[in-house]
Structures are given as structure tokens and as C-alpha cells.
Amino acid sequence: MRIEWSHIRKCYEISDARTRPARNQMKNIGLLDFSASVSEGITVVLGPRGAGKSTLLRVTATVMVPDDGNVLYQLTDKEMVEWSRGCLMASGISSVSPLKQIISYIPHAKQLDNDMTVEQSLILQARSKRVLRSRKRAMELLTRWGLAGVRHTPLYQLRGGALKRFLLAHGLIGKPRIWILDEPTEGLDPLGRALLWQELRHPSKDRITLIATERDMALAELADQLILMECGQCRRHGKRKWLTAGVKEGTVSAWYRTMQTFSYQQER
Ligand SMILES: Nc1ncnc2c1ncn2[C@@H]1O[C@H](COP(=O)(O)OP(=O)(O)OP(=O)(O)O)[C@@H](O)[C@H]1O
């Protein structure tokens, strides 16, 4: 399996009338001519705030349409799916329906606006992903991710570590082949961190895991591949071992420091 991004551009229109000049509508650049590719394994996307990491994840998860360029998903030797504005206009959203079943996207959420309980939501998700024995699978995940104590809690009341663990369990329920995580360790408690590490160290064989993080270098050390972003573009990408071989310490953190033209350290 492989994902290939070609010349992706994504701009956001600035909606705040106070910051918008009267005639020229201003745009924020999310992605600018972004090209790269990844194969099975864990890919960690690094970059400073505003580099475009979340935008890349949203486009790849097909929750956002790129303005230009395309994403190709090589699912098997014979099956390839394209995601682009052109494809969407020509064939509608059904053109990416094979992806909807296999992608799980976990956004960077601080709170959920939903009064369903944890248990109900996991069962519903298992059913929507057409998991066999969906209730059993939901209970399995509920227990494994330490959610039994909050099973009857409405989602809007979940906070901190429990919320993060719920999101991870929810995302894994359908055994996704493409697992996309935006800042998964932010707000995660030690139990969740240990469970996430376990999951990342023993992944399904045929899975692409795409993780964005701004500063969790311990997470980045688990990567098979790295993408370094800056100003909406891909500045470097490749195998972690090759990229870090050039620095004395041989770690992602040391490599990342040598790549800084942005103020990673000064921000701290
Ligand atoms: N909804 C939005 N409306 C307007 N501009 C946006 C929106 N979302 C992102 N942007 C802008 O797009 C650029 C890239 O943002 P993005 O969130 O993708 O970067 P990031 O690397 O994930 O940073 P962060 O860690 O701060 O989320 C930034 O300039 C940001 O301000």
C-alpha cells in the first residue's frame, strides 16, 4: 500500500471581516505544492506551528478537498483511488467510498459535542464500519483502552486522557488500513500513552499510520518514515534511519534540531 501526494495546494479564506481588506480577500496557505509519498508503516509528520501538518492530514483523510493537485492511494497492485477536486467534480464523493471504509482519522479534538455515551458510540462506529460481532468488538476496545469506568458517560463530558483514549479506541474499531492521528499524545495520560505505544509497536502488517506532531520527539522515534514540513511544503521526507544517520546522536530530535531554520528552540 502507498499514498502519494502530488503538488497539493490548499488555501483557507480568512473569514474575519476585520482582518480582511475591503477588496482583496486574504488567504492563509495550508499546503503549497506539497509532494511526497509514503508506504506501509509509521510516518511521523513534523514541523513548527502553522507548517500545514493538520491540513495535510485533513486532505489525506478526505475530509478536506485540495484546491489543486491530487492524492493517490495505491490500495493493492490492482486498486488505485484518486482524491482531487477534479475527481470530486467528475464522479462525486462516491469516487472515494472505498477509502471511507479503510481510513480512520483522529482530529486534534479538545471536546466532543455529542450526547451519546462512550459505549453507544463505540457500538455505532463498529456497525458503521461493518465489523462482525460489533458489540463484542466495541466491548473489547472499551476494556483494552481503560474506558469501562466511563462507558455510560456522554461524550461531551469526556475530558483529557479519557477523551483521548476514547478517540483512539473509536478510530481503531474498524481495523483501519490507513490510520491518521493529529497530535495523539497531546493531553494523553500515562495509561493511554502506554497503550498507544503498544499499538504502534505491534501494528497490523498492511497499515499506513500517519501521525502529526509538533514536539513529541519520543513519538517521532517510533517512525519508519519522516516528513518535515515548513510553510505548507515538504522540506524533507524519507526513511527515519537514513535521515537520522547523518547526525552524530542518530536521533530524530537531534536531526530535527539540525533542520531548524524556524525557531523550534526559541519557542520553548
Ligand atoms: N480553518 C482555518 N481557517 C483559516 N486558516 C487556517 C485554518 N486552518 C489552518 N489555517 C492556516 O493554515 C496554515 C496551516 O495550518 P495547519 O493547522 O495545517 O498547520 P499545523 O502545522 O497543523 O499547525 P498547528 O500545530 O498550529 O495546528 C496556518 O497558517 C493556519 O493559520
The ipTM estimated for the assembled molecules is: 0.96
Q: Is residue 265 part of a domain?
A: no
Would you state the pLDDT for residue 190?
95
Would you state the pLDDT for residue 265?
47
Grid cell locating 240: 527515519
Q: Is residue 21 part of a domain?
A: no
Would you state the pLDDT for residue 267?
47
Return the half-sphere exposure (C-beta side, CA atoms, 13 A cut-off) of residue 6. 11
pLDDT in tens, 186-196: 999 999 999 99
Q: Which atom of ligand 1 is the closest one to the Cα of 182?
A: 22
Q: Is residue 268 part of a domain?
A: no
Q: Is residue 48 part of a domain?
A: yes
Residue 31's domain comprises 2-14+27-258
Q: How many domains does the chain have?
A: 1
Q: Is residue 213 part of a domain?
A: yes
Q: Is residue 189 part of a domain?
A: yes
Q: What is the spatial distance between Cα 225 and Cα 235, in angstroms, rounded to a whole number?
A: 14
Task: Compute the distance from residue 117 Cα to the ligand 1 centre, in Å.
Answer: 31
Q: Is residue 110 part of a domain?
A: yes
- Inter-axis angle of helices 160-172 and 190-201, to 10 degrees? 20
CATH number at residue 107: 3.40.50.300
3-class state of residue 210 by DSSP? strand
Q: Is residue 22 part of a domain?
A: no
Q: Given ligand 1 and candidates 5, 9, 13, 49, which is best to mutate, with the most ligand atoms within 8 Å of its CB?
A: 49
Residues of the chain with pLDDT under 50: 264-268
**What pairing do the DSSP bridges indicate for beta strands 27-39 and 2-13?**
antiparallel
- Provide φ and ψ at 94, rounded to 5°: -65, -20
